[in-house]
Structure 1
Amino acid sequence: MLATGIRTDPLHAVAAAPVILFALDRDGTLTFCAGGGLAVAGLRADDLLWRPASALLSDDPDALADCRRALAGEPAEGIVILADRPYHVRYIPSRDAVGGVNGMYGLAVAEGTELRTVDPSWEGEEHFRGAFAHAAIGMALVGLDGRWLRVNRALCALLGYDEAALLATDFQALTHPDDLALDLHQVAALLADTIEDYQMKRYRHRDGRYIWALLSVSLVRDGRGAAQHFVSQIQDIEGRKRAEEALRASEARYRELLAAAERQARELQLLDRVRTALARELDPATAFRVIVEAIATTFGYTQVSLYLREGEEHVLQHQVGYEHVLARVPVAAGVSGRAVREGRAILIGNVADDPSFLGAIDGITSEICVPLYDAGRPAGFLNVESHGDLRLTEADLHLMEALGEQVGIAIERAHLYAALREREERLAHLALHDPLTRLPNRRGLGEALGGALSRQGRGGPMVALLYIDLDGFKGINDALGHEAGDYLLGEVADRLRACVRAGDTPARLGGDEFAILLEGVGEVQAVGGRVLEELATPVRIGVATATVTASVGGAVATAGETADDLLRRADTALYAAKHAGKNRFLLAEAARARGDAATAG
């Protein structure tokens, strides 16, 4: 900008006198300086341009304060000492079209200097040309009709034209179409003396591309106030615009990366929740519920479901978000059937376009179906659907694939756990049961007897124990062989089961010894009689027939009696029955009485 008090051709006057014309942008950076005062003070414009006023005036706080006052919108005047010579300086705010301050310009005149206007004659032309031609930024005198009247080398280099070509056109021809209306509006405002303005615009380079420039224009009037021409300063800011665009692109990329990072954090949180749930929970039903609900809550998916294969159907295990749901889906049906056949996860961006979609509820817009595997075998599928305006994306697909792998691990672990539990149960059964007869063994009988006595001690049913030893089994085993003996022992076990109620416990103690634990039976003698009767019935073994009898001793538990005591009393009764002639049943009390009588005799 140029001060309105300067008339005719200020550049000529400035170049020929100890005067400095300068301008600062709104940030306080020196964007223009010219004048004979620079050489007088031993300064070069190239050393000063684009430096902040705070650095240039660091040793002159008064001058710096005047600059800041002008940048705040208040004109100022002051004295600056350059090369031991005082300069009177005027600081004038520069304003935009709406009156806002967008910088300032100033004029420094050496004390005692009269700044006069001079026509550019042959006498002063060389001074004028020097200041104009060697300016660091593009400069031009522009006619009121827009024609270029004079241009410097910097402007020619900026626009790619030689001087003659540029003088043959006008600024309108080289202005970007989108900027021309505003440019002409600013020209009219300058002619009306309503603004003095900086403005950014785009110029068309000779090669056809457009470049960004920072334009500063002021109007020059003659002594009578008539408008003569414009003085334009044109600074290349293409690099700055590219930097701004790069910054905007960088900010956009940063926002994208931030959104991606936030999503990744949620994905990791979800995967961690799922892995933790699988590590803590071996029950498949509970694990599937935790997984489905974690998926729904972490990402806000409105409909999530998980199905496992049972035969030729996929059966629902857990779901979130469905008022009505398909409890069973044929293995080959729907999107899930296609996902299983193709062995890959499927994303349907618009379910209306896919005839295989099976809609459980209205309003579903997109779907992801991920097949699940158990050790490489199809095991089911994980399904996510969106409702309303929400659309599932490739990012959702990748997340569901990762979760599908975790669910597959859960299925495999659940099956391994079930197999392990079955094996443990089988081993526990073997530890407590006789493999030949499948009856409880001595250890199994001991645990059952301990429980029964504990219940009796708390007021439960009466407990009784029958101790059974087969008569003549060794002879049959020796005569017919061990296989026949084993078959006979199995038949004995079946007949003992037939003698008791469901709550009673027949057991094999080893060899040809058996026992029966009774709870709540009042007629122990009757049960012993049934045992003798069942076992005395002949057994068909191949072509042979074997008959085996048994000696049975019984005992009824007394208050506070231990299992060992009860077993000992039943065993004593058993041997009493054998000594009495075998194939008979004796209770412990009767056995004691018989033993007492034998002693007396």
Structure 2
Amino acid sequence: MGSHLHSRLRRLWLGVAVCAALFMAWNAWRAWQDIRNQSQERLRAFAAEYAIEWRSTLRAREDAMQRLGRRLLVRPESAQQQLDTYLLERPGVEGVALADAQGRYVARSGALPQPPLQDAQLTPPTRAAYAACLRDKTFCLGPPIPDKRAAGSWMALEYLPLAAVPGGTQVPSPGGAGRTLAGRAFPQEWLVLAQASVFPRALGLLQAPGEGMAFVVLRNDGLLQLRFPPPPHLPYGQPQRGIMLEAIRGQPQATSGMFSGVASSVNRHLVGAYVRVPDYPFVIGADLPTRSLLQRWAGQLGGTLLLFLGLFAAGSWLFASALRQLGRTERGREQALDGLRRQRDELDVTLSSIGDAVIATDARGRISRMNPEAVRLTGWPASEALGQPIEQVFRIAVEGEDPPAPCPVARALATGRVVALANHTELRTRDGRVLAIEDSAAPITRHDGEARGAVLVFHDVSDRRERQRRNERLKSLYAALAELGEIVQQHARQGDELALFRAACEALAASSLFNAAWIGRPDAAGVFQVLASAGNGSHGLEQIELRLDDPQPAIAVRAWLAGELRVHNDFPADPINLPRRDFVVAHRWHSIAAVPLLRAGRPEVILVVTSPARGLFQDDVRELIARIARLLDHALDEMASHRALQQVRQREQWLALHDTLTHLPNRNMLESALQQAIARADANGTLLALAYLDLDGFKSINDVYGHLVGDQVLRGVAERLKTQLFAGALALRMGGDEFVIILEGGKELAELEPVCLSFLEHLRGPMQVGNPPLSLQVDTSCGITIYPYDRETPDTLLRHADMALYAHKSRRGPQRSAYRLYDPAMASASFSTPDRRAELRRKIDTGDLVLHYQPVLDRASGRIHHVEALARLRQDSDLLQPDAFLRELGPMELTLLGTRVLQQALADLAAWVRQGLHIGVSVNVAPQELLAADFSAQVLAEIARHPELEPGMLSLEILETEEVLGENVVLAQLSALRAEGVRIGMDDVGSAYASLLRLKTLPVDLLKIDQAFVRDLPVHPRDRLFLDAILALGHALGMRTVIEGVETQAHLDLLWQSSADGLQGFAISPPMRPEDIPAFVASFRMPPRIARDGPAFQQRLC
């Protein structure tokens, strides 16, 4: 029984011993598994944390390089300065450079290694990795390369193509040239930014904790990027073939994993874990020597073994029971841990895949979890943010306000309800960025309703908010532009620039974008004077002095000098603005733009607008400011054109009533002036003397000394009349050498006689003219009629004074009186006007009519284009000029003269054609001729009498007379002639009543500009403005233009540079007999100077 009991006890003991031994072995194995699993999980957690930190570090460096890239693209001319500034701002960066597609440095700052592709000492894998970096289109960190400045040091180059910078896509030009930076143009399609750092210190990684733990950074191409602690024999940048790389390549799609085995690089058995770095081609690995795990396992197992051995004898059964219970408990714990791990992994995957940023807190508002998007937006790494109060990481404020806004998490925890952010909320990130966000916070509650934490979800809406602000800016600007357009239309026609400037400033200052506007221009001293202003500070602008010669010019001066738009988006911060900073800040001029308003390409005034918003003047606002400037430019040009047109009209009106040579009133003013004088004489009971006078021997002066001297004589006579006549008297020039004087006052004839004798005596006598001075004797003939003794109409009074003039001219010798009074008996005398007209009619009709022809030069070809027919009458052995007989002809005589001139001119033209000369001829037509119903038929019949002629060889020149040209029958006659090919010309344009605007309704081919616009051109260059205006009008209407009165070489030199088609005058040729025309045209050559300068000038015109 005892042995059996002993046996059973022995068996029991053996059983217990075996069980204890087995339990110990199982416990040791389980302990090893726990240590190994815990270590691998810890290694994976550390690897994940390092992966996040590595990604954040690379992201920060990439963002810094992108900001540098954007600045370089905006201001490529200051590339070197920006590289230097960047290097100063980044203490962890050893050097920064611009490199081309081969990695060669274009511009550099700081210490940089030799370009990897040119460094033959680097291993082929390293150079291949850098070549791949240069081909990459995104940010790329290259493998470490030896730092030749210190043994054992390493450097790494980071590249960022400028094409990857937002807004930096480069399109090559047709010649292959790309962007020009640092003073060079590159044929490659992109450039790269390169920066170098001492490796690995610049990456700022945490050092690995103790226990022999090491960290490894592998590139996706298998090169070793980093190991801490550094490997003793294996250099960086070498291809790896270890256990970690095998595990990675065994699971290419896995984001993390475990590995174990013998590492050849350190010749040790290792246990480790790896995690891929999101968004970057790197894998972070963490490992521990297996030996350290064995030491921990042995230390943990030794104490347990001693305890079991001490208690084995006394508590083997209890130990066995506890062992069984422990087994059950351990299995339950493992199951719980596995469930928690699965939940955590699922939660991590879920949070990482959410596009919104998510932050979870505990019940006290401290951060317990955040996803990668939250890390990116806040700028806080998860390792640093965990455990921090939510207000420390999630710092928000209302847009445009400095005080922070309350975090919605606290309110959600307090109320137990979902809380949304207020509108226009901004997130202030850790790295200084300001993001517009939208978010909401919700509590996490237990089953009993108690809050155990909160979850905050938010996302970035900066782009959408910026689009909204941009749309609002554009809407306001377009509204201001539309209002300004209405203002321009309202004020441009009025010609009041100051009113336009005031209205424009008020409209701009009243818009929602600007708070002030002013317009000014510099005075003679170079100091800007304000012409108009509105808005904040407009009444204090006199405190600010802006000078063109300021060594540090203000923005308005810089815009004026550059002739283009200048802006400043932080005006108070401008150092040049320091003397005016208090004024600027007080009136909230935070952004400013200055643009010159141009006239003929030169600044006329400067427009300055300010805004209370910083950064307002971006590309869209700048473009609209430029459009506003162009709108005001157009208004200024329109005002200038309107003023020029008014001046031309005023000049035209003046010319219609005044003689351009003497500046005396002309024949057109005589009737109205005489009517008014008669009315005053009737009202006052006084006498009125009408004196008609001309200069004796004036034709001889013209013939001997030339028309220029003759013109000076006429001007001298006019000056003597102006200085001699008393107040109330009026002197007029009738044409040629004829003048009329209206004298009022006196009750008796005896009172007027001394006055008449006085001014006549003053006219007579020597006159100094010409250069060199020439003394000429001036004598006059004068006929006077007295009203009311001669109570007639103004026209009859003038004819009676004319009769008296001719009666006075007929008397010669020393007994001739100073003047001749009109006597009614003169109407029947042999020198009466009817007899004179009959005599002139007989001369015209019986062969005493002689035609001379004056050539017209074609300026483009330098050849004679046509000739003008000029009438002469034989009298004894002399030839009468037109001004000696035309005014004596009545309507019948004028019509007869026109018919005979036309017939003779066509006959001469036919003779020239038969001789082989093909030119045109122009004939003057009296206005009365046009009133005949059969005028056009008569002209065409005369042309038909000469088969050699074409209608286009004849030009009819019509005097610009409003009374005739306004008749419908005249327009019909001219239209019929023009339809048959006859050319219609308007003679003496600008010398009569008709407005130039009538030309658009007349069937006219040719404008012949009156010599009044030419006579004083060498001494009065401003007359060129009126001449050019008429020439431009004629060409715009499709008409040929001819300038008459080209009398001197000076006239010819000036007018050769005009846009006229033809030139006529004594400087080209005097009138000549018809038989001399063929030889003259065949031998004509331009004057040497004109011939020399003409073609060059024509090339300049082209």
TM (norm. structure 2) is 0.31
Q: Structure 2 CA distance, aligned partners of 1:451 and 1:361?
A: 69
Q: Do the aligned residues in 2 keep the contact of 1:350 with 1:365 (CA within 8 Å)?
A: no
Query: Does the CA contact (< 8 Å) of 2:495 and 2:643 recur in 1?
Result: no
What CA distance in whole angstroms lies between the structure 2 residues aligned with 1:460 and 1:257? 82
Percentage identity across aligned positions? 27
Corresponding residue number in structure 2 for 1:318: 532
Partner residue of 2:761 out of 533, 538, 546? 533
Q: Does 1:571 align with 2:789?
A: no
Show the 5 A alignment for 1:36-435.
157-160=346-349, 217-219=446-448, 245=459, 252=465, 255-256=468-469, 259-277=472-490, 279-299=492-512, 303-309=516-522, 311=524, 313=526, 314-320=528-534, 321-322=538-539, 325=542, 330-333=547-550, 334-335=553-554, 336-348=556-568, 349-351=570-572, 353-355=574-576, 362=583, 363-366=586-589, 367-385=592-610, 393-394=616-617, 399-435=624-660
Judging changes above 3 Å, is the alpha-carbon distance between structure 1 residues 261 and 459 closer, same or farther for their aligned structure 2 residues?
farther
Deviations 1:370-414 (A, max 9, x none): 22322222323123356xx77683166655443223333333333
Hey, what's the Cα distance between the residues in 1 that align with 2:362 and 2:499? 77
Q: Distance in 2 between the 1:298 and 1:261 partners? A: 12
Work out the CA distance in 2 between the residues paired with 1:456 and 1:155: 122
Deviation at 1:436, TM superposition (A): 3.0
Measure, in 1, the Cα distance between the counterparts of 2:714 and 2:530: 48
CA 1:553/1:275 → structure 2, altered by over 3 Å: closer, same or farther? same
Q: Secondary structure at the match of 1:281?
A: coil
Which residue identity does 1:350 align to in structure 2? F
More strand by share: 1
If asked which structure has higher relative contact order (CA below 8 Å, sep 6+), I would say 1
555-564 vs 504-513, greater mean Cα deviation? 555-564
Q: CA deviation at 1:533?
A: 0.2
Q: Look up the SS of the partner of 2:510 in the other structure.
A: helix
1:546 aligns to 2:777 (yes or no) = yes
Q: Classify 1:505/1:294 alpha carbon distance in 2 versus 1 (closer, same or farther; 3 Å).
A: farther
**Match in the other structure for 1:584:** 818
Q: Report the CA distance shift for 1:295/1:261 in structure 2 as closer, same or farther (over 3 A).
A: closer
Residues 149, 518 of structure 1: CA spacing in aligned structure 2 closer, same or farther, 3 A cutoff? Answer: farther
Q: Secondary structure at the match of 2:607?
A: strand
Partner of 1:66: none
Q: How does 1:455-466 map to 2 (within 5 A)?
A: 464-466=689-691
Residues 26-58 of structure 1, C-alpha deviation per residue, up to 9 Å, x if partnerless? Answer: xxxxxxxxxxxxxxxxxxxxxxxxxxxxxxxxx
SS at match of 1:408: helix
CA contact (8 A) 2:790 2:797 kept: no
| Structure 1 residue 432, shift from structure 2 partner | 2.9
Q: Do the aligned residues in 2 keep the contact of 1:198 with 1:215 (CA within 8 Å)?
A: no
Distance 1:332 1:519 in 2: 62
Contact 2:491 2:499 (C-alpha < 8 Å) held by counterparts: no
Q: Report matched runs for 1:476-491 at 5 Å.
A: 476-478=701-703, 480-491=705-716
Contact 2:411 2:419 (8 Å CA) reproduced: no
Name the one with the larger helix percent. Answer: 2
Distance 1:515 1:477, change over 3 A: same
My pick for the range that moved more, 352-361 or 263-272, is 352-361
Q: In 2, Cα distance between the equivalents of 1:481 and 1:568?
A: 31
Relative distance call for 1:332 and 1:213 in structure 2 (3 A) is same
Which AA in structure 2 matches 1:433? H
State the AA in 1 paired with 2:502: R
Q: Which runs of 5+ in 2 are unaligned?
A: 1-335, 351-360, 371-386, 392-406, 421-439, 831-1102
Task: Provide the alpha-carbon RMSD of the alignment.
Answer: 5.4
Is the CA contact (8 Å cut-off) linking 1:473 and 1:512 kept in structure 2? yes
Residues 432-454 of structure 1, C-alpha deviations (whole Å, 9 max, x = no match): 33333332221243454456567
CA 1:594/1:157 → structure 2, altered by over 3 Å: closer, same or farther? closer
Are residues 438 and 504 of structure 1, via their aligned partners in 2, closer, same or farther at CA, if it must alter by over 3 Å? same
Distance change (3 Å), C-alpha of 1:151 and 1:439: same
Distance (whole Å) between structure 1 residues aligned to residue 783 and residue 776 of structure 2: 23
Q: Cα 1:346–1:439, aligned 2, differ >3 Å: closer, same or farther?
A: same
Q: TM-score, normalised to structure 1's length?
A: 0.53
Q: Determine the C-alpha separation between the residues in 2 that align with 1:284 and 1:341.
A: 22
Report the alpha carbon displacement of residue 331 of structure 1 after superposing the two structures with TM.
Answer: 3.5
Question: Which residue of structure 2 lines up, in the alignment, with residue 500 of structure 1?
Answer: 725
Instruction: Give the secondary-structure state (helix, strand or coil) at the position aligned to 1:514.
Output: strand
Q: What letter is aligned with 1:285? A: L
Matching residue's letter, 2:634: I
Aligned mates of 1:553, 1:497 — CA distance in 2: 19
Identify the residue that residue 325 of structure 2 maps to in structure 1. Answer: none
Kept in 1: contact 2:488–2:635 (CA 8 A): no
Match of 1:538, SS state, is strand
Q: Describe the SS at the equivalent of 2:762.
A: helix
Provide the C-alpha distance between the structure 2 equivalents of 1:393 and 1:278, rounded to a whole number of angstroms.
29
Structure 2 partner of 1:11? none
In structure 1, runs of 5+ residues without a counterpart are 1-146, 162-169, 190-194, 202-210, 221-229
Aligned partners of 1:184 and 1:485: how far apart in 2?
106
Q: Is the 8 A contact 1:473 1:548 kept in 2?
A: no
Q: Is the 8 A contact 1:453 1:463 kept in 2?
A: yes
Q: Hey, what's the Cα distance between the residues in 1 that align with 2:541 and 2:768?
A: 62
Between Structure 1 and Structure 2, how many residues are aligned? 409
Tell me how far 1:514 sits from its aligned partner: 0.4
8 Å CA contact retained: 1:198, 1:216 = no
Between the aligned partners of 2:733 and 2:588, the Cα distance in structure 1 is 67
**Within 1, Cα distance between the matches of 2:532 and 2:744?**
44
Q: Write the letter of the residue equivalent to 2:781.
A: A
Q: Distance in 2 between matches of 1:213 and 1:391?
A: 36
Whether the 8 Å contact between 2:730 and 2:741 is mirrored in structure 1 is: yes
1:300/1:466 CA distance change after superposition, 3 Å: farther
The match for 1:514 among 739, 752, 762 is 739
Please give the per-residue CA displacement for 1:71-115, whole angstroms capped at 9, x wherever unaligned: xxxxxxxxxxxxxxxxxxxxxxxxxxxxxxxxxxxxxxxxxxxxx
Distance 1:508 1:157 in 2: 112
